[in-house]
Amino acid sequence: MEAFAPWLERWELEADGWPFGTPYTRSLLLPVRRDGRAAMLKLAGNAEEARGGALMAWWAGGGAAPVLAQDGPALLMARAADPDALPRMAFQGRETEAIAILCETAAALHGHAGEPPCELVPLRRWFRALEQRAAEGGLFGAAWAVAQPLLETPRDVVVLHGDITHANVLDFGADGWRAIDPKALRGERGYDYANLFRSPTVAMATPERLQRQLGEVAALAGLERERLLGWVIAHAALAAAWYAEDGGDVARALPFVTMALAQSAA
């Protein structure tokens, strides 16, 4: 609780639960209340997380969780009414409904005009790990052959969330469905839809599901199906490259890439 103390005092907050951390980003979170309203206090664990907090404040509730205060690494935002609503929806057979909510949220974020007060990472830099792995050939090489022309000929360049999944779009009750935990990227808007297909768990992925959802997302987002599939392949391979960098068994991360490449060849 010591790390939160200055912010609890500064923003006149009352702890409303136990603190917890995020395993990969090392951020710290604490449920709090301010003037009786449920909120979440987040202390960014790295620069990427801090940029995400600044971007959340810039979005000002337009597709993102309402921000009550933000300063440097500290972010105070509204607390979700039901943080597990979208994964539960997908597991209960309401995947089409969940996909529509995710696409609507992404579109709301992309529609925000102006320039955010934080550094945005260009997609070309974001894909560095995949580019480096491409020299190995195989699936990484095949995926990079798909990703490279997309990165070199971007369309509809916008501020990107970078990690829109069932876990990062939450039910905020009267405030509606809102996104959290952005990566603060800039690039083609189609990239923001790529991670939906591996969510809420890649174990749900099948060729039939992928084919169906490609049609759904392309129609909802106004995207070309084949270009969307290209981003799906590119992102899945990038995720596998990151997994390998972290020392994971990359063989477990590549089946979805194989599946997506097969859709491209069909």
Q: Which residues are catalytic?
A: 163
Three-class SS string for the chain?
CHHHHHHHHHCCCEECCCCEECCCCCCEEEEEEECCEEEEEEECCCHHHHHHHHHHHHHCCCCECCEEEEECCEEEEECCCECCHHHHHHHCCCHHHHHHHHHHHHHHHHCCCCCCCCCCEEHHHHCHHHHHHHHHCHHHHHHHHHHHHHHHCCCCEEEECCCCCCCCEEECHHHCEEECCCCCEEEEHHHHHHHHHHCCCHHHCCHHHHHHHHHHHHHHHCCCHHHHHHHHHHHHHHHHHHHHHCCCCHHHCCHHHHHHHHHHHC
